[in-house]
Structure 1
């Protein structure tokens, strides 16, 4: 099976994440996309957001009814800082017959050389950079061995981020239509991201 891996804090997951997963899935003919909420991201400062179990639950709610989308708690169960190489090695040992595609934003492509054990990781997965119109992912800046494991995929243009959603909630503004209805309900019931 061809499996897309979509990592992130998903604090909260929003329609941009879902559109990206669907677009890559269709363009590359993936069998499934697995959403992998990070425990502690190595490259981001911790925000005062939802608890890990709440972020996982929001992912589960967002993908409910999508038979080709799955949520996995592998990084949350492992604990500590979430390094992609460790996650991929765990997944490959558990699912040796699967082919993995690691989905990232086009802006992350040029930073791949800074990823922990990138040489090893580039041999285990194909990276898929989500291309935005007019944005240069910087493929030509990558060392040849890393560049060989990167593909670019198109994505519908949508200006939305989890940060913006948290800021709107903190300002008392609605986030309906930015997140799936079930996620919006969960955020409201649990009073997440309120000031």
Structure 2
């Protein structure tokens, strides 16, 4: 009888292991990273964190979001889906200005953000969201009256953004899509679903975007 050679996952190339890990959810990925140092390094590969869906993970707190941002999320993140605490027993806000600022700097390629049952009344304006967003979905969220009100950026910030955009376009050798708003937002698609606090003031603020 031929000898059978015992094989383990350690014999697989890392690209194959990453493909296998891509079928796991966020919770399973984090648990897998506790197996050994090699798996912890593989779990942090940014190819596994391009699209992160936390809507099925109930009870996500601001502390958990900070852990994810500091240890796992990075330049690979393109799409992020979050469920808030609006309908939970704990309630309250879980997105802070400091976390959103850190998200913008840590994940500069984030293009899509979907928020479900999130209390955003603690945020002064949507301008606190990452300016790289192209898709914004708000489902069952609570919004402050001034959420869509845009304040003009400072001359230094506006000049810096224009310089960065010009540099990126010349570097790529092609014309990029320039945001229509002077605030620097590049949002192309916005979904508002079952937002009870949405008023005419919000609608007027959104309409003013088209005139900029």
Hey, which of these two has a bigger chunk of strand by percent? 1
Is TM (by shorter chain) over 0.5? Answer: no
TM-score range, shorter chain: under 0.3
TM-score by length of 1: 0.27
